[in-house]
Chain A
Amino acid sequence: MTVTVSWFLVLAAGLFSIGVAGVLIRRNALVMFMSIELMLNAVNLTFVAVSKELGLIEGQVAALFVMVVAAAEVTIGLAIIVSVFRDRSSANVDELAELKG
């Protein structure tokens, strides 16, 4: 049984689905955020795997760009979480329901 690229892709799909599940069931904003990071990592894994499959370096470049965007997102996101926490001493997203119609 040799490892093929599709193994990696299936693994990435699994990680991505777990990330989605994490966003859906957790109420802690920080953990939701980690789940999003996990989803990004899963996507990166598909990029790198396909890059290998097709023999193109661009897949790895794309993965790098995703990392940069993720880093920027993390800084802003964490800053927002910190300011929200300062405001209401909680990182529970269910309490942030001001937009309820």
Chain B
Amino acid sequence: MIDVLWLVIALPLVGSTINLFFGKRIGQPLAGWVAFGFVALAWLVALPATFSLIDGSIPVETSYLFTWIPVVGADVALLWDPLSALMTMIVTGIGSLIHLYSIGYMRGDERYPRFFSFMNLFIASMMILVLSANYAMMFIGWELVGLSSYLLISFWFTKPAAAAAGKKAFIVNRIGDWGFLVALMIIFASFGTFDFQTIFASAPVVITVGTATAITLLLFVGAAGKSAQIPLYVWLPDAMEGPTPVSALIHAATMVTAGVFMIARSAVLFEMAPTTGAIVAVVGTLTALVAALIAVSQTDIKKVLAYSTISQLGYMVLAMGVGAYTAGIFHLTTHAFFKALLFLGAGSVIHAMAGDQDMRTMGGLRKKMPITFITMGAGWLALSGVFPFSGFWSKDEILAATFAKGGWYIGLWVIGLLVALLTAFYMTRLFVMTFLGKPRWEDGVHPHESPATMTIPLIILGLFTVSFGLVNTPALVAFEHFLEGSFQYVHHVQGLSMGAIIGLATIALIVAIAGIVWGWLKYHRSELPAEDGKFWRRSRDAFGVDEFYGRTIVEPGKKASEWAADVFDVKVLDGIAHGIGSGTRGFGDVLARLQTGQVRAYAGGVAIAGVLLIIVFLAVGGGF
């Protein structure tokens, strides 16, 4: 079973190639079905292998495909352990649902096949990242994911905003990649290999705590880029310029989790560096808080969800920081389900509103779009953390793990609770403004329920959103047990007593319900409440972070580039090039005088040269 794992990467790649070259000929709906088919096939291929991991019939295994750079221990090999199996299931499973959804959503777009080609490319890149058995191959996947993300964000590149957003995402991600790359260099310098198993088995012996701290901090820079953490989170809200399925697939469910996944994969190294752990936890918490504060005031439905994603990623990173890897990955999984659901639901709403994304012009969509309403309701409750939806279990686990660390981590726990309150509040705001209350849409807009290809993924995701949390409750720890295989070198944090767990869960639940009630009371009225005041204005501007970056980094950068282009290039580089050119031409002009066109001049040259040669030979040979 593990021998065919390479198909999981190859199938989407084939789909991508087919759509790239023959998509136009295949035609509009069919191209989408082809793309969906290849991703679904990849999922089917991975399914039996996953089951054999669950029932323990195969151990953690590595499938060697071929030798790539043997000298650095970087073969093309696939590591099949619970962590990668889980990610594979998420990426191909949710990915295929989103492909299905896109078949309807992207209908009528001029570059329909191209879209599906990029989507398949993304799935393939993500699978390379997830399944790689060494850091070198992981980096390849990491970069490919960045590339496909760029292609998809700026898919509607005729819109300047979309093109700019694509560039922004790419550049910000490059900053993160820099950290990752340097980390890889240090890893290679220390271990002499990139192979995961070798590194993790030997890490405590080979490297010191200082080296581990350096490596993990740099890895975290990479993770912060991909997983949108402070200070590199700014690209994600802008990435909403891409088509909504892209936002769902990449910027909610899968790609942004790559950073979290990478930290979880490198858990052994992070365990060795408590300083990094603390920094990671603080950064995660602050990201969660800041993003939640921004999310409460956004009026664009996708922007709310984007900031909410950043906020939830903050939770996951916090979990990584406190060493609760299972909890973080669990939240990653549940979040993938409900955030994909919310994005797809939002896409359904936008579709119904003929492209309008402003929640202030929505309202009262409940009657018009019952399926979207119900499924998004599940997503709302899950993200808010209401019992027994999936978000409740996973978020609670992270908070409990933070609390269990004790000391100043209690402060992080308090902030986490505050974020939970804000989350419940802004999700209620979104839900109420969109679906409840009186219709506020303009004349001429006729909202309608979306076609089946769009609603079926919503329903499936909705079912998972409701139920998936139950696989890892304090009573039933199946998920944690499943993931043990991936964290065999990691020391486990000491657990809390059952009473403490229930107590913490109750507090979290009370906070969530408080947030919902607060939001409900504020927004469930006939008139939308005014959102005035200093806080609201600042929050709506996302606290001016983009402007700050613009002033401090982008502008000086542009100035430097302009100087390089207008002064350095023109004067120095062009000067050198022109100098070489005119020098050669001048030399050629001198030589051209010798070319008289007179045959006898040439013949004379030959004769003189002949005489001179004979004389030289005689002189050398001693003939005189």
Contact = CB atoms under 8 A, between A and B. Distances in A.
A97 B597 CA distance: 4
A86 to B, nearest CB: 19
**Which of A25, A27, A99: most chain B CB closer than 10 A?**
A99
B623 interface: no
B607 A94 contact: no
10 contacts: A24-B604, A24-B607, A25-B600, A27-B600, A32-B599, A32-B600, A100-B596, A101-B591, A101-B595, A101-B597
Nearest to B611: A20
Interface in B139-197: none
A27 B603 CA distance: 12
A87 interface: no
B604 A97 contact: no
Contact of A93 (B594, B595, B600, B607): B600
The 7 closest A-B CB pairs, nearest first, are A101-B595, A97-B597, A101-B592, A100-B597, A99-B597, A93-B599, A23-B603
A20 B608 CA distance: 10
B598 interface: yes
A interface bracket (residues with beta carbon within 8 Å of B): 10 to 19
B603 A97 contact: no
Contact of A97 (B592, B594, B598): B598
B534 interface: no
A32 B600 CA distance: 9
Interface string A3-41: 000000000000000001001110100001000000000
Interface of A: 20, 23-25, 27, 32, 93-94, 96-101
Contact of A96 (B595, B599, B603, B607): B599
A100 B595 contact: yes
A77 to B, nearest CB: 13
Interface string B599-624: 11001100100000000000000000
A97 B607 contact: no
Contacts, number: 36
A25 B601 CA distance: 10
B593 interface: yes
A23 B596 contact: no
A99 B603 contact: no
A88 B121 CA distance: 70
Contacts of B600: 23-25, 27, 32, 93-94
Given A23-B603, A24-B603, A24-B607, A94 B598 contact: yes
Nearest to B588: A101
Given A20-B603, A32-B599, A93-B599, 5 more contacts: A23-B607, A24-B600, A93-B600, A97-B596, A99-B597
A97 B600 CA distance: 11
A25 B599 CA distance: 11
Given A20-B607, A24-B604, A24-B607, A101 B599 contact: no
Contacts of B596: 97, 100-101
Contacts of B595: 99-101
Contacts of A25: 600
Contacts of B604: 24
Contacts of B593: 101
A99 B597 CA distance: 5
Contacts of B607: 20, 23-24
A37 to B, nearest CB: 15
B593 to A, nearest CB: 7
Nearest to B596: A100
Contacts of A100: 595-597
Contacts of B591: 101
A100 B597 CA distance: 4
Contacts of B598: 93-94, 97
A97 B599 CA distance: 8
B603 A98 contact: no
Contacts of B599: 32, 93, 96
Nearest to B607: A20
A44 to B, nearest CB: 19
Contacts of A101: 591-597
Interface string B577-597: 000000000000001111111
A16 to B, nearest CB: 10
